[in-house]
Amino acid sequence: MISPKNLVRHELIGLKASVEKSTSASTVGLEGKVVDETRQTLTIEVKGKEKNLVKEQCAFLFTIPSGEKVLVDGKVLVARPEDRIKKKLKRW
């Protein structure tokens, strides 16, 4: 079960996400569904188009299945998804 405390240790694909902060002003405010994830990027489907976002340069607001919204700094997410799920993280 995904909760705000363990979100970064779960699969992000399928979650609704929006960009809250970014080093690129053009990406702030983008929101959509996470459709792919690599070590360095998240791919979000926005109005039928896919946008690749560099994790390290953004802060994301994820909506988990319970409806809660969780703000996550992209720097915490930088890792391959399968490695991030395994590693221990301090409270981010």
Alpha-carbon 62 to chain mean position: 6
What is the per-residue pLDDT across 2-29, written as a single tens digit (0 to 9) for each?
999 889 889 999 999 999 999 999 999 9
Residue 74 domain-assigned (yes or no)? yes
Per-residue CA distances from 46 to 40, 57, 76 (Å): 19, 18, 23
Residue 36 domain-assigned (yes or no)? yes
Residue 49 domain-assigned (yes or no)? yes
Residue 85 pLDDT: 76
Task: Please report, for the domain that includes residue 18, its CATH number.
Answer: 2.30.30.210
Residue 90 pLDDT: 61
- Residue 91, pLDDT > 80, answer no
Residue 90 domain-assigned (yes or no)? no
The DSSP line for 30-50 is -EEEEEEE-SSEEEEEETTEE
In this predicted model, which residue has the larger pLDDT, 33 or 86? Answer: 33
Residue 89 domain-assigned (yes or no)? no
Number of domains in the chain: 1
Residue 84 domain-assigned (yes or no)? no
Boundaries of domain holding 11? 7-79
Residue 1 domain-assigned (yes or no)? no
d(CA 91, CA 80): 19
What is the per-residue pLDDT across 28-47, written as a single tens digit (0 to 9) for each?
999 999 999 999 999 999 99
Residue 21 pLDDT: 97
Residue 89 pLDDT: 62
